[in-house]
Structure 1
Amino acid sequence: MQKGMLRPLFPRKFPHIPVTDVAGEVVEVGSGVKDFKAGDKVVSILSQFSGGGLAEFAVAKENLTVSRPSEVSAAEGAGLPIAGLTAHQALTQVVGINLDGSGPRKNILITAASGGVGHYAVQLAKLGNTHITATCGARNIDLVKSLGADEVLDYKTPDGAALKSPSGRTFDFVIHCATGIPWSTFEPNLSTNGKVIDITPTASTMLTFAMKKLTFSKKQLVPLLLSPKKENLECLVGLVKEGKLKTVIDSKHPLSKAEDAWAKSIDGHATGKIIVEP
């Protein structure tokens, strides 16, 4: 578990904000590091509990750090770790899609599809054999369609609020990236064995999850607990390199204006990722 020093794209200024996504250049490595050396360009995910990425320098573990090829900019790479890995885990491990397009076709709903996790989820789902229904704000409908969604709902319209597929489909899986939508809204739109994957589970999520299990319901609410893996981050970086995945960047902020970036994030209406640069 040796560690190396990285010069990240995300500098740290706020001690209680666990920024965990970094991309930058290795400036020093620990004695046990085998795969990296000073000068290497990398993408890394830091501890979800302590963060540390909003800094001029950050300490990262080798087993959660991957090489960043020249085709992937630091900003693109910095957006990937938490959001991209969340989308990847939900789709490949829970939904079970194959990113090569093989396997049975699935109908998927992605809520908040223009957000950090949502915009990656749309692109990754499109690589699989899926029909994608997505929700977002009216201003982002064209963007979400361009990322691969087959049909897009404005979440403020009656059909959008009710999660009704324009083509009348029911959903085998929902990648739920929004908040505040009750189970009663999802349930009538699910297929017989449909599942809602909640990427930000709350106490209410866990209660519904337990109740559905106890009552042997075929329709399930699944809380997603992220388990970051190096090979999955390598997969995402590789897809960006190949032009099959992109990081949509909402805005970039210098370290001296990091508080503006955080305020924009808290506002909850960013399109894609917010980047802080040194």
Structure 2
Amino acid sequence: MAGKVMHAVQYACYGGGAAGLKHVEVPIPTPGKDEVLLKLEATSLNPVDWKIQKGMLRPLLPRKFPCIPATDVAGVIQEVGSGIKNFKPGDQVVAVLSHLTGGGLAEYAVAKKSLTVPRPPEVSAAEGAGLPIAGLTAHLALTQFSGVKLDGSGPRKNILITAASGGVGQYAVQLAKLGNTHVTATCGSRNIDFVKSLGADEVIDYKTPEGAALKSPSGQKYDAVVHCATAIPWSVFEPNLSETGKVIDITPGLSAMWTFAVKKLTLSKKQLVPLLVIPKREKLEYLVNLVKEGKLKTVIDSKHPLSRAEEAWAKSIDGHATGKIIVEP
């Protein structure tokens, strides 16, 4: 495909919102030795995508500009690098692109072999594209930091999931219920029935006094909190935690990092854990297989054509999506 061009959406520098995106024609990328070239079928957006554009993560994720954003994709392999033995043209896959380079809002993208997994026919492109960062975040928060065993074994855990109707939250509820858990979840009033349908045992409206206080209707003390919301201080969490309860913060700010340090230094049994996801191929493959087996689903808020990617971008920034926002070429 050398010399050919593709349609893509990029931003030129830090700052700006949906209006800062620009539709361009750029060369189709060439896969390296251990990479595959994908014709994209679906891309999902994550808050980290627009936070990078706004410069909110500048110290952690420096970018070269202009840049094509988005990392979570599903597509069909068009070409494989010379070092690829386990994939061939025509294979359908799910992949995670690098946050440093992006590339998802385009017709084609290059993915590393190490972060590409087969997509079985039972899993649609949109379902697969929704999984990587959101699904892996939920999986890591529950299994590594909350101690939930997804085969149902292990001691019973009381889990709180905030913002449970969002991209990470919807996966966290479903995955938690695969384990031996009692799940309390928070969301807005319009999504209460939806979150119950995912399996939550108790759902509270975060805008009510009880919801703002994060109190379990049945008086549960939480062994772990998968915190997918923002702007909730430690003082609200602490009285609701069990003796050794943890808050796993998936979007930690300066206040969270300060609390993390203080709790460590004072040897507190109650801890705040800032979460940073490093994608692992085997974990992504595990999640894809759960979808194949009907044990996990990707809830899709909306689908948008690449030609109107700025609408999807604005919806993600708005922060009220129920499930995942998908862009399709």
- Under TM normalisation by the shorter chain, which class is it? over 0.9
Residue 11 of structure 1 and its aligned partner are, at CA, apart by 9.3
Cα distance in structure 1, aligned partners of 2:114 and 2:217 = 44
Listed as ranges, the gaps of 5+ residues in structure 2 are 1-32, 46-52, 54-65
Q: What do residues 200-257 of structure 1 show as CA deviations (whole Å, max 9, x unaligned)?
A: 1112211110000111111100000101100000000000000000000000000111
Answering whether residue 253 of structure 2 is matched by residue 202 of structure 1, we say: yes
Q: What do residues 104-145 of structure 1 show as CA deviations (whole Å, max 9, x unaligned)?
A: 000000000000000000000000000000000111111100
Cα distance in structure 2, aligned partners of 1:141 and 1:17 = 35
Residue 17 of structure 1 and its aligned partner are, at CA, apart by 6.0
Answering whether residue 326 of structure 2 is matched by residue 272 of structure 1, we say: no
Question: What is aligned with 1:162?
Answer: 213
Asked whether the equivalents of residues 11 and 55 of structure 1 are also in contact (C-alpha less than 8 Å), the reply is no
Asked whether the equivalents of residues 94 and 118 of structure 2 are also in contact (C-alpha less than 8 Å), the reply is yes
Cα distance in structure 2, aligned partners of 1:256 and 1:86 = 29
**Alignment CA distance shift 1:17-1:195 (3 Å):** farther
Answering whether residue 124 of structure 2 is matched by residue 73 of structure 1, we say: yes
Asked whether the equivalents of residues 221 and 242 of structure 2 are also in contact (C-alpha less than 8 Å), the reply is yes
SS of equivalent to 1:25: strand
Cα distance in structure 2, aligned partners of 1:32 and 1:10 = 26
Question: What is aligned with 2:15?
Answer: none
Amino acid in the other structure paired with 1:33: I
State the identity as a percent.
77
Question: What is aligned with 2:37?
Answer: 5
Residue 49 of structure 1 and its aligned partner are, at CA, apart by 2.1
Cα distance in structure 1, aligned partners of 2:120 and 2:294 = 13
Amino acid in the other structure paired with 1:244: K
Cα distance in structure 2, aligned partners of 1:41 and 1:242 = 17
Question: What is aligned with 2:303?
Answer: 252
Cα distance in structure 1, aligned partners of 2:166 and 2:224 = 18
Q: What do residues 1-28 of structure 1 show as CA deviations (whole Å, max 9, x unaligned)?
A: 711101122399x954631100010011
Residue 51 of structure 1 and its aligned partner are, at CA, apart by 1.2
Amino acid in the other structure paired with 2:117: V
Q: What do residues 141-169 of structure 1 show as CA deviations (whole Å, max 9, x unaligned)?
A: 11100101000000000000100000001
SS of equivalent to 2:177: helix
Larger radius of gyration: 2
Task: Name which of structure 1's ranges 2-11 and 237-246 shifts more when overlaid on structure 2.
Answer: 2-11
Q: What do residues 50-87 of structure 1 show as CA deviations (whole Å, max 9, x unaligned)?
A: 21111110010001000000000000000000000000
Asked whether the equivalents of residues 18 and 49 of structure 1 are also in contact (C-alpha less than 8 Å), the reply is no
SS of equivalent to 1:10: strand
Listed as ranges, the gaps of 5+ residues in structure 1 are none
1:134-213 → structure 2 map (5 Å cutoff): 134-213=185-264
Amino acid in the other structure paired with 1:158: P
Asked whether the equivalents of residues 11 and 255 of structure 1 are also in contact (C-alpha less than 8 Å), the reply is no
Question: What is aligned with 1:44?
Answer: 95
Asked whether the equivalents of residues 99 and 127 of structure 1 are also in contact (C-alpha less than 8 Å), the reply is yes
Question: What is aligned with 1:116?
Answer: 167
Answering whether residue 224 of structure 2 is matched by residue 224 of structure 1, we say: no
Cα distance in structure 2, aligned partners of 1:17 and 1:141 = 35
**RMSD over equivalenced CA pairs, Å:** 1.4
**Alignment CA distance shift 1:75-1:105 (3 Å):** same
Cα distance in structure 1, aligned partners of 2:288 and 2:92 = 12
TM-score, normalised to structure 1, is 0.97
- Aligned counterpart for 2:139 among listed residues 52, 64, 88: 88
Q: How many residues align?
A: 277
Amino acid in the other structure paired with 1:160: G
Asked whether the equivalents of residues 68 and 104 of structure 2 are also in contact (C-alpha less than 8 Å), the reply is no
Cα distance in structure 2, aligned partners of 1:227 and 1:78 = 17
TM-score, normalised to structure 2, is 0.82
SS of equivalent to 2:133: helix
Asked whether the equivalents of residues 195 and 221 of structure 1 are also in contact (C-alpha less than 8 Å), the reply is yes
Residue 37 of structure 1 and its aligned partner are, at CA, apart by 0.6
